[in-house]
Structure 1
């Protein structure tokens, strides 16, 4: 007797599922609001999440390998990654503006990090999370791009 795996059919159905239903699935599977990205992104992340829940996530050895690769980039030294981040950071006094759900959000770059609504923050991601209630890359949320060339 063979057992039927419903996961491939569920993944295939994502291609024809209305976007509103994809967003509803996102809320169910991630317990958060879907990001405002394109449909293809929603489909791919939902497909991964469905498989992750059905078959399990990354193997521990894969996670360890990814962590080792990350450490090769900065030697495991959080100071080096922070220095790189500071290199790309806008100059002190810069004001970042983003409208979110009809409300203008204003962030000021400070010498120590960032300030939003009179409160200091170390990262733009923390501010984006406070504004939206979901995890965001702060640089993406505020429309900043890394213009530094990789050598």
Structure 2
């Protein structure tokens, strides 16, 4: 942070409320909200830095807008991945005459004492080739979810 910006932000808590409100009008072009001093100081500190260094990325703004829409009920949340088994679920598959048992963890899967990030990684370790993990373990049939789920 440059010294001028840092000193401007550091000075904010010492300024009287009328001066903070005047700064608000100058920096935002709108009337200040009727909130307390602490709110004005924090928002002005952000605005000063935003003007000096730039604001949120377009991607971050879109994500925040999506979250607000979800909270307001304007947009439905994304559905949960129905192929992900519940933590503790044992997936059993026979491969070339050998039973393979995989345990679902909160952050991945365990097979033969080793942790994997995805079912596809486990399927690759078992077969030696690339597989769609949910398809390999029977959670999907030809790209579609099983009807029983």
Shorter-chain TM range is 0.3 to 0.5
Structure number with higher strand proportion: 2
TM-score by length of 1: 0.44
Bigger Rg, which one: 2
Greater helix share, structure number: 1
